Amino acid sequence: MYLKRIELHGFKSFADKSVVEFMPGITGIVGPNGCGKSNITDAIRWVLGEKSAKAMRGETMTDVIFSGSEDRKAQGEAEVTLVFNNEDHFLDFNSNEIEITRRLYRTGDSEFLLNREQCRLKDITDLIMDTGLGRDSLSIISQNNINEFVKSKPEDRRAMFEEAAGVAKYKKRKIETVRKLERTTDNLDRVQDICSELERQIGPLKRQKEKAETYLEFKEELQEVEVSVLVKEISTLSEELKTLNKELEDLENERITNDGAVILDEKQSEELEKKMYALDQEVNELQEKLLEAMNEVSSLETQKVEIDANRKHILETTSQEDIEQKKASMKSILQDAIIDYNDRVKRYNDVKKEKNDLAQKDSLNKKQQANLRSLIEKKNIDIHNSRTEKTRLTDIIENKSGYSYGVRTILGAKNSLSGICGTLGDLIETEETYETALATALGGAVQFIVTRTNDQAKEAIYFLRKNKAGRATFLPIDTMKPRLLRDEAKMLAEQSLGYLGVMSDFVTYDKSISDVVLNQLGNTIVADHLDHATEIAKSIYHRYRVVTLEGDIINVGGSLTGGANKHTNNSMMSKRELERVSRTLDQQEKDLNKMKSDLHTLENEGREIGQLFMQKQMSLAKLELVVTNKKNEYEVAKADYENLTHQSVELDEVIKGTQNNELLDRLNDAKRRRDELKETIQAKRTIRMGYVNENEEVSRRLREHRAALKDVESQSTDKKVAKSRLETEIQNYLLRLNDAYAMTFEHAQEKADMSIDIDKAKDKVRDLRQRIASLGHVNVESIEQYNDVSTRYETLSTQRSQLLEAQDSLLKAIKDMDAIMVEKFSTSFEAINKAFNDVFRYLFGGGHASLKYTDPDNILETGIDIEAQPPGKAAKLHSFSGGENALIALSCLFAMISVKPSPLCILDEVEAALDIANVERFAKYLRSFSDQTQFIVVTHREGTMAECDLLYGATMQEKGVTKLVSVKLKDATEYASS
């Protein structure tokens, strides 16, 4: 290995890039003082890692950068590259050529490069360690080093011998190992202190941990059992509640039915009593008329009896001669019989016609009843549908059945979760006109849950995740920011036809959620219909949503959404719908009661018609007998009259000849009125009796309905109390699940064992609670604390063991390195000592010299004394001249090189103090080593120059800038001799 070349740029006086080529053997650098030739030596030392600015003959390291001259500016950086031929791989590096570069900037930043790749100074130091190129070796020697070597303290000389002995790397490793040992010992002390502290903590923590583990075992077992108990209790109570709700629903329907029946019965009884009272009044009036008619009939019959008696008397007492008189009497009798007969026939026909009219009325009444019953049946179906719809809407509003599972879960756990305000749809209201637009604008946001803070929203999300209870969207009041229309967009929209306002202006809400409402609705425009909405969207360049009253949307960007509106299952829309359904149901029930009342009236009318029909039928049967009797009377009278006249008499002839019989007409009229009055009174009495019977039936039904209503209300009250108790128990169980175990019922169902014996499980719960209570105060965190402390203690114990092993290993390594260094140093020292004497005798021409330990018992730290006795002088170093000191130092250098050849040795005017004879002796001895060591000699002595293979002349043609000129001495000699 040898130095192939050195490249300098910006280093000290080498302003321009300079390349100095070297070759094996001796290279001399000559030149006058101040020309910069020693800068070559400084450059080599600097690249190899010199850190001392003083050694570089400067105050700060940046002084090595070219500082400028009269004609040149200062450089910003200095760079030196050493190129070594490493074909013999003397340096442990996988390359035949090695470039070592150091670069320094004005800022003070520096770089080291190895074969043009950035590296550390340590990499350079490790590469050249024990090669003879180290900073502490005699491979780079200046005139000052020569003088200091002899005069320095024995301990200071040791470093050079260590480098020559090849123990520098061991010493460095030992220093590093000692430092590691010190750090290890410090670490071991700290670990030991911490372990001692942890040992004091671990005992109490272990007891607390065991207690906490027992507590958690009980707690886990309690949770498993109690959750199963709670789920089974809730399931059982829920089934009971479900049955109870069905019973309450049935009772409510029964109550409504009975209540309606009571109202109808009371109304019917009242109507019947009114009718009976009216009939009683009518009967009383008719009885007075009947009495008058009977008196009149009695008076007229008395008169008729007198007339008939007189006629009979005439017939009986009149002689044959008075036949005409008899005939006249008989004719009057016949005429009376005809009048009676015709009157009864007419009355018969009138009653028959009335009967037929009643039959028609009865038929019409039955048709009306049938139609009304059909309408009542349809109305009952409508009422059932309305009640079903009302139940559905109530369920949506109260139980949020139209909402997602996650939303329902959060609302169900509202009492145990903090900060849950409710869904956005439940917290805002609007007029019916804007309801569709609001529902459309909100869309799915109607189910978003408003919370007071962001942390409370996260708590709710953790709750859903833990219970696997679906998802929900939350709107934290403290993080929501209003989103409003820009002023220019609002101004453009206001100028457009159909613009109604911003959606947030049409809703009412609590001021605490204003930011939430404005975030969701503050930038949504409301228009009257789609055409105007389209124009508004165009005017604002489709930057905001526009929604119409019919629910159509112009989305941001211009897309449209619309079509037939479908009811959404949310409480906001359902509230209005429930009000409408409730009003409809009330009207339907009123209409049903009206229909039932009308049916009852028709039924009463039908009964009255039926009773009148039966009365007319009975009257008709009686009149039929009367007509027959009157016809017989007429025929008898006719026969008697024909016997008197001895000729057949036709009825028509008699009628034609019938004279007006005022008395008989009056009597018949009176009888007719009497009979009609009797029939009417009898009919009304029959009707009244029907009313009485009906009223008794109504009263009986009313009593039954009232009793049933009272019973239903009593049962309903009892069941409502039972329902309240069940709901309270279920709610308490649910709260227990939520508070104690943070579980929803659905999540708990997945973990519950439904096959447990509930009574035994309850006993076990009580037993576990007693056991937990008997534990007293439990520090659950002690488990984690113990695990942390225990893990830390185990880790530290392992570290302590490792540190002890490392300490032993380091002590052994130090001991081994000490042994190696003692052996290497001793062997090398003896060899150098022997060579030193030989070289000394050669350079001095006699005498003797030796090296001695200042402390032979401590080879690792002993200093090196030099004992030299030139010919004819005593062995006292301080009395030697500068030249003698230089020869002594050179003797030591050549001794070291002879024992451990160095690939490169740089000598900077080391022979300056020698006389000519010694210079020649020095140069010849230098030549003897040139085959194994490359020498670079900075000199101005001719004897040294004569032995150089290559000379470089350093000049300063330009002030402050060094230039080098080379010449091979062999070529120059050949050229001169030719």
Binding site, by residue number, is 32-39
d(Cα 965, Cα 28) in Å, to the nearest integer?
11
Report how far apart, in Å, the C-alpha atoms of 590 and of each of 251, 272, 379, 587, 596 are. Answer: 20, 22, 10, 5, 10
Q: Which amino acid is at 939?
A: T
Distances in Å between the Cα of 323 and the Cα atoms of 298, 313, 668 are 32, 14, 30
Residues with Cβ within 8 Å of residue 601, at least 6 apart in sequence: 271
SS3 state at 393: helix
3 state SS for 397-411: HHHCCCCCHHHHHHH
- Rounding to the nearest 10 degrees, give the CA dihedral for residues 282, 283, 285, 290: 140
Are 138 and 893 in contact, with CB atoms under 8 Å apart? yes
CA 431 and chain centroid, separation: 33
Q: Which of 568, 581, 556, 560 is nearest to 439 (CA)?
A: 568
How buried is 866 (Cβ within 10 angstroms: 0-12 exposed, 13-18 middle, 19+ buried)? Answer: buried
Token duo for residue 597: 């009342």
Q: In what order do the strands lie in the sheet with 117-119?
A: 18-21, 2-9, 77-85, 97-105, 110-114, 117-119
CA-CA distances (angstroms) from residue 976 to 552, 946, 952, 972? Answer: 112, 14, 18, 6
For residue 79 the two structure tokens come to 């760079």
Name, in order, each residue with C-beta under 8 angstroms of 921's C-beta and a sequence gap of 6 or more. Answer: 842, 843
At 472, which amino acid appears?
Answer: A
What CA–CA distance (Å, rounded) separates 617 from 601? 24
74-113 exposure pattern, b = at least 16 Cβ within 10 A, e = fewer? ebebbbbbbbbbbeeeebeeeeeebbbbbbbeeeeeeebb
C-alpha angle with apex 831: 830 to 833, nearest 5 degrees? 65
Two structure tokens written together for 799: 């570290």
- Binding-site positions for ATP read 32-39
- CA pair distance 833, 898, nearest whole angstrom: 11
CB–CB of 430/508 below 8 Å? yes
Q: How far apart are CA 98 and CA 101, in angstroms?
A: 10
Identify residue 21 by its one-letter amino acid code: E
In eight-state DSSP terms, residue 97 is: E
What's the CA gap between 425 and 633, in Å, rounded?
96
Q: Which residue has the tokens 């390195």?
A: 817
What is the DSSP track for 780-792?
THHHHHHHHHHHH
Cα angle: 37, vertex 43, 46; to 5 degrees = 145
Burial of 243 (0-12, 13-18, 19+ CB in 10 A): exposed
d(CA 364, CA 375): 17
Which residue has tokens 């750090």? 183
Q: Supply the DSSP string of 250-264, one letter for each residue.
A: HHHHHHHHHHHHHHH
Cα angle 385, 388, 389; round to 5 = 85
CA distances (Å), 975 to each of 21, 208, 978, in order? 21, 101, 5
How is residue 430 annotated by DSSP? E
Q: What is residue 428's DSSP assignment?
A: -
